[in-house]
Every structure is written in structure tokens, then in C-alpha cells.
């Protein structure tokens, strides 16, 4: 029983470390591009 708890703890620690590393080192910047939307003004 202790081995399963130890394994789950190890997997969770590695998962948190991997997620933290990806958050700091991963390229998460969005691609920027100009957007032009025509606006139609209706007299009313």
C-alpha cells in the first residue's frame, strides 16, 4: 500500500514540475495580425 502512495506522490510531483517548466519555457505568445472590420452606419 505504501508503494502505491509513494508512486502517486512521485507522479504528482513530476507532473507539477513539468507543468511549471512548460509554463516558464513554453512559447505561449499569441500570433498577432491586424484585423479590419468594416462598420456600416445606418441613418435612423
Q: What is the pLDDT of residues 1-42, one digit of tens each?
A: 999 999 999 999 999 999 999 888 877 778 899 999 999 999
CA triple 21-25-29, angle to 5 deg: 130
Cell numbers linked to 4: 502505491
Q: Which three cell numbers stand for residue 14?
A: 513530476
Q: Check: pTM over 0.75? Answer yes or no.
A: no
Alpha-carbon distance of 29 to 38, in angstroms, equals: 27
Question: What are the strands, taking DSSP E only, across 1-44?
Answer: none
Amino acid at each position: 500500500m505504501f508503494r502505491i502512495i509513494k508512486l502517486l506522490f512521485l507522479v504528482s510531483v513530476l507532473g507539477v514540475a513539468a507543468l511549471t517548466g512548460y509554463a516558464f519555457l513554453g512559447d505561449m505568445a499569441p500570433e498577432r495580425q491586424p484585423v479590419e472590420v468594416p462598420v456600416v452606419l445606418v441613418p435612423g
